[in-house]
Structure 1
Amino acid sequence: MDYIEVTFTSSPDYTDILIAELGELGYDTFQETENGFQAYAPEDQFSEEALQEVVERYSFAGSFPYEVKRIAKQNWNEEWEKNFEPLFIANQVSVRADFHPKPEGVQYDVVITPKMSFGTGHHETTTLMIENQLTLSHVGKRVLDMGCGTGILAIMAEQLGARQVLGVDIEDWTVENAQENAERNHCQTLEVRLGDASVLAGEAPFDMILANINRNVLLEDMPGYSNLLQPQGPLVLSGFYTEDLPLLQEKAAACGLTFETSRSKNNWVSAIFRKNQ
């Protein structure tokens, strides 16, 4: 069966929402692009009318231009490979699909099949998070990854030596995808759980927390992150812009967290905070 490719131009603020909506319509693969994302559905699942209804539902937020293209079944793997290039981060980490050969000379190798989840490493926020992870000791640590997506950061945490990793996400299909990717990377300590911050009630403190979500969720959940973090434990955040950093710093300080450092790329930021004694 042929596939239908829909290329969207969208702002990051609405990309996750659109993907969730399209997932309900039978789209089963998504790929980030510089200006939005591409969505793929089997031809028998595609409906132009249903697609237009989704776009019109969010017209209050602006326009979401898209282009539709049919991809023949025999060319599907070629198309997917063309759109999912292997990625190398900080000369230490390889992020690739399982149809790419394992590269030589890298310390860490993460194999990801994104399906309907974000987190291939190609988006600036994921890359920045991994770069920050590489600066922190994970050995023997208990790590929480909030909004885990594909599970890439949680998988990275285990490869960096974490003794236990918990990934949490609000979408059931994302949890399923993260579990599949954990198995694909032979993870032994990674658990993936469905829900939001409320599913962490009663959890013992974590040695490190990773959260690549968005500004509003980070601000709302900051007190919870602080309560779940061991003294002197790092909180690594991303999913916000350079101009949002002062807001995160102010909220963190009010929650007993000290700003340590940040890095940025194309106006996206990842920052490290540390829990006070």
Structure 2
Amino acid sequence: MPWIQLKINTTGSYAEELGDALMESGAVSVTFQDTHDTPVFEPLPGETRLWGDTDVIGLFDAECDMKAAVAQLEQHPLLGAGFHHKIEQLEDKDWEREWMENFHPMRFGERLWICPSWRDVPDENAVNVMLDPGLAFGTGTHPTTSLCLTWLDGLDLTGKTVIDFGCGSGILAIAALKLGAARAIGIDIDPQAIQASRDNAERNGVAGRLELYLPHQQPDGLQADVVVANILAGPLRELAPLISVLPIQGGLLGLSGVLASQAEGVCEAYRERFTLDPVAKKEEWCRITGTRK
């Protein structure tokens, strides 16, 4: 079905209040967009990160009376009569298909390719992971996933056991298995992530070597040669006592989902038990790796 878009330009400090006003005037959804097309990165815990110049965009049903919606918005103290806005008709699209068409095979490191399940692989001789992210996070397009995949590609995983803590789509665990790991264990709090990981493992022919657990189901004393956790800085700090015991002595740890400005705080939480490597950075994100003492 077609939609109508109403766009208001404001500043970050007023964006959320105007977003609420758009919802009250009949919008079915509201998004915030940088006026200058600057991407917004993952916010800090509890933070809504907005730009200095922000477009607040309300999406309305095509049958909505936009004159009435605008009249209601004119009563808002931040807007007033004749406030500046732009109304556009949006064409109807199959957004899932459009996303699929723009998701291309990607190379990480020397050997590894992540390939959408609906596209042909670019190199039959490479290590190819066929991925359908489904309802779970993890396609390789985000810098944190890219950092983790490149790290795994650079390791000798032959015969090793790998734990993917916060497995999402299963991309890291499956990549580890395709890179030579004998066994991988995926842990996630979201049942949809467990299902997506299972489906992707079957698609890649490694389901028999991938164990998947919700946190309350994981076995006691679980350990691995390599542990990777691509989540967020807050949980990485809070769960440090739990994550730190997962690698065996001399085992490797890889952490991401961390903004560069958060790296030192995460390092501090793990420094006592790990010999840490220099922090690797990609755009505003970073990866922290180390060896269990």
Question: Quick check: TM above 0.5?
Answer: yes
Cα deviation for residue 81 of structure 1 reads 2.9
Cα deviation for residue 234 of structure 1 reads 0.4
CA distance 1:100–1:192, shift in 2 (3 Å): same
Match for residue 189 of structure 1 among 183, 192, 209: 209
Contact 1:262 1:270 in 2 (8 A): yes
Match for residue 244 of structure 2 among 226, 236, 239: 226
Match for residue 257 of structure 2 among 218, 239, 254: 239
Q: Does residue 132 of the first structure (1) align with residue 117 of the second (2)?
A: no
Cα deviation for residue 162 of structure 1 reads 1.2
Runs of 4+ in structure 1 deviating by more than 6 angstroms, as ranges, are none
What corresponds to 1:86 in structure 2?
A: 105
In the alignment, the residues of structure 2 paired with residue 101 and residue 67 of structure 1 have an alpha-carbon distance, to the nearest angstrom, of 38
Contact 1:93 1:106 in 2 (8 A): no
In the alignment, the residues of structure 1 paired with residue 179 and residue 163 of structure 2 have an alpha-carbon distance, to the nearest angstrom, of 14
**1:189 corresponds to which letter in structure 2?**
R
**Deviation string, structure 1 residues 110-144 (Cα, Å, up to 9, x no partner):** 11111221110000000000111122221111111
User: Any residues of structure 2 matched to 1:110-259 within 5 Å, and which?
Assistant: 110-187=129-206, 188-195=208-215, 199-200=217-218, 202-254=220-272, 256-259=273-276
Cα deviation for residue 203 of structure 1 reads 3.0
Contact 2:105 2:122 in 1 (8 A): no
Match for residue 61 of structure 1 among 45, 48, 56: 48
Aligned length: 223
**Deviation string, structure 1 residues 60-109 (Cα, Å, up to 9, x no partner):** 83679557566456x853x1333312212224221121111121265211
In the alignment, the residues of structure 2 paired with residue 257 and residue 125 of structure 1 have an alpha-carbon distance, to the nearest angstrom, of 21
In the alignment, the residues of structure 1 paired with residue 226 and residue 2 of structure 2 have an alpha-carbon distance, to the nearest angstrom, of 41
In the alignment, the residues of structure 2 paired with residue 137 and residue 109 of structure 1 have an alpha-carbon distance, to the nearest angstrom, of 17
In the alignment, the residues of structure 1 paired with residue 178 and residue 122 of structure 2 have an alpha-carbon distance, to the nearest angstrom, of 16
Which of these two proteins has the greater Rg computed from alpha carbons? Answer: 2
TM-score by length of 2: 0.68
In the alignment, the residues of structure 2 paired with residue 106 and residue 92 of structure 1 have an alpha-carbon distance, to the nearest angstrom, of 9
CA distance 1:241–1:102, shift in 2 (3 Å): same
What corresponds to 2:283 in structure 1?
A: 266
What corresponds to 1:44 in structure 2?
A: none
- Identity, % of aligned positions: 28
In the alignment, the residues of structure 1 paired with residue 132 and residue 114 of structure 2 have an alpha-carbon distance, to the nearest angstrom, of 10
Structure 1: tracts of 5 or more residues without a match: 7-47, 53-58
In the alignment, the residues of structure 1 paired with residue 203 and residue 191 of structure 2 have an alpha-carbon distance, to the nearest angstrom, of 18
TM-score by length of 1: 0.71
In the alignment, the residues of structure 1 paired with residue 47 and residue 148 of structure 2 have an alpha-carbon distance, to the nearest angstrom, of 32
**1:212 corresponds to which letter in structure 2?**
N
In the alignment, the residues of structure 1 paired with residue 151 and residue 221 of structure 2 have an alpha-carbon distance, to the nearest angstrom, of 25
In the alignment, the residues of structure 2 paired with residue 243 and residue 60 of structure 1 have an alpha-carbon distance, to the nearest angstrom, of 14
Q: CA RMSD in A?
A: 2.8
